[in-house]
Structure 1
Amino acid sequence: MPGILRSPDMARKAKERLPNVAVLFTSGYTQNAIVHGGRLDSGVELLAYTREALARKIRHVLANQAQRRAAQGSQHSADEKAFKDATVLVVEDDYLIRLSTTEMLSNIGCRVKEASTAQEALKIVDEQPVDVLLTDVGLPGVSGLQLARDVQARRLDVRLVLATGDSGRKLKPRD
């Protein structure tokens, strides 16, 4: 990731602030260019770029997160809904990215709600059931990290997926 903040550092900061967040690295580099010593950091996943791989990897990351919660004595039942039946709230200010993400999630069987701002997203969370929040970190106004904190304060059971394509953004201490 170009810029001052490296991707592993951003992931570590996100996990410190939101311990239940799933971390999924995407990269245009080949796997051997970013995997050192045959390993990524514990709990971090790597994605190759295809639509099918993205769908598979998102399901995999969320399933692993559910297994970890169950192993830690989470109150979630073992017969949780399959991810394909999940209601996913996609929060992305870029229309084309939101459209393609929504289409991909719909194609794998998710019910998708859309918002372009944190304020719109919170209104949806307050009014409708949501299983997964998939948010861009770099939203205008309120950041995706703050949105994730606000959503978890309202609903502890919502699974979180944070994404960013911003290569130069430096996280501030409260992000």
Structure 2
Amino acid sequence: MSTNLGAIQGLGLSMVYGFVKQTGGHVKIYSEVGQGTTIRMYLPRSSGQEDVQVAIIDGPVEGGPETILVTEDDEGVRATVVEMLQELGYRVLKAPDASAALTILESGMPIDMLFTDVVMPGPLKSAELARKAKERLPSIAVLFTSAYTENSIVHGGRLDPGVQLLSKPYTREALARKIRHLLNNEKQVALSAEKSENIDPDPRDNTGDASSEQAASRRVLLVEDNALIRMSDADMLADLGYEVLEAESAEEGLQILEQAGVEILVTDLGLPVMSGEELAREVRRRWPHIGIVFATGMNEAPSLEDGPAAVLLRKPHGPDELKTALDAVLPLT
């Protein structure tokens, strides 16, 4: 509780008191000479659902041929990241600070992803670097990394809400999956933009398609935080004959599910706050009859312990891949 007799008093008890009071509880201390001290902490009982331990995907990782710009001021960390990415097949450019990274971005060299530490030395900060990168290369994917949590970074004003963050320390597998997911997500955005520019004025005739007749009575909840991808996927679902409900977050999706009957959930994995995997587990617990499709840039879908397996829909995808995934989950609903 404190240091040696006569020394400065420690902070143990004050920290305990502060923690307990913040949680709505209280502390009782009883001391008796020659017997010792008893401390009892009383904390409010929680009636919420116990957190479910999420299974980590440990399958093979996947790289690619894209070009990634790594911005990291720590030379040792930078060298390690560059080596890992090169082993995955990526072409890697490197910069020790944001200003050097901006020079590379302005060189006209094709770059698919900016991977930058949040805290960078110099006058140009990482958030501003990301904005400038998007101005020059609108299709570039941006991934931040930091030893701080996403909540502390966003609440501290260093980054905007909804950014993609990989927390340090991270494994080679976590790095590979996060990068592949974001790169594939950007490809899906590009496909969605292309589709919106080339809308067929004559919608396809699905009246003779047996699976479309089956789809006509099905309602799909589409959960996707990227507005362009969500709009494109909703159009494809409607073209396939489904009734579509849309949500941009897992929390909004749960609110819809509480009010409307749904047969199929199509969800992105990389949702803000509550992830697509957490959403799927909650849906499986509360509505086990709903079929689940994971639309993701990753090469594997999380496994759900109870009920039928979820179906993987990889990004980028078109209407044919979407139809195949829905056909696979329809018999399960």
Structure 2 length normalisation: TM-score? 0.27
Aligned-partner SS, 1:129: coil
2:284 aligned residue: 152
State the identity as a percent.
38
5 Å matches for 1:78-97? 82-97=214-229
- Structure 1 residue runs of 4+, over 6 Å off? none
Equivalent residue, structure 1, for 2:274 = 142
Residue 102 of structure 1: which of 227, 234, 242 is its match?
A: 234
> How many residues are treated as equivalent by the alignment?
101
Task: Give the one of 248, 252, 262 matched to 1:130.
Answer: 262
Q: Map residues 1-175 of structure 1 onto 2, 5 A cutoff.
A: 1-2=62-63, 4=173, 82-165=214-297
SS in 2 for 1:82: helix
CA distance in 1, matches of 2:283, 2:250: 10
Describe the superposition over 1:69-126 as per-residue Cα deviations: whole angstroms up to 9, x where unpaired. xxxxxxxxxxxx8234210000000000000000000011100000000000000001
In structure 1, stretches of 5+ residues that fail to align are 8-27, 29-49, 51-62, 64-80
Amino acid across the alignment from 1:117: S
C-alpha separation in 2, matches of 1:108 and 1:154: 27
Other-structure match for 2:120: none
Q: 1:163 is paired with a residue of what secondary structure?
A: strand
Equivalent residues of 1:136, 1:162 under 8 A apart = yes
TM-score normalised by length of structure 1: 0.50
Letter in 1 for 2:236: M
AA partner of residue 260 (structure 2): Q
CA distance in 2, matches of 1:93, 1:129: 21
The AA in structure 2 aligned to 1:83 is A
> Letter of the aligned partner of 1:131 in structure 2?
E
What is the distance in 1 between the residues matched to 2:266 and 2:216? Answer: 15
The letter for the 2-side match of 1:95 is A
CA separation in 1, counterparts of 2:250 and 2:263?
A: 17
Decide which structure has the larger Cα Rg and report it. Answer: 2
Contact 1:138 1:166 (C-alpha < 8 Å) held by counterparts:
no
Q: For 1:85 and 1:165, locate their aligned partners in 2 and report how far apart those are by CA, in whole Å.
A: 29
Q: CA RMSD in A?
A: 3.3
State how far apart, in whole Å, the 2-side matches of 1:82 and 1:153 are: 26
SS at match of 1:157: coil
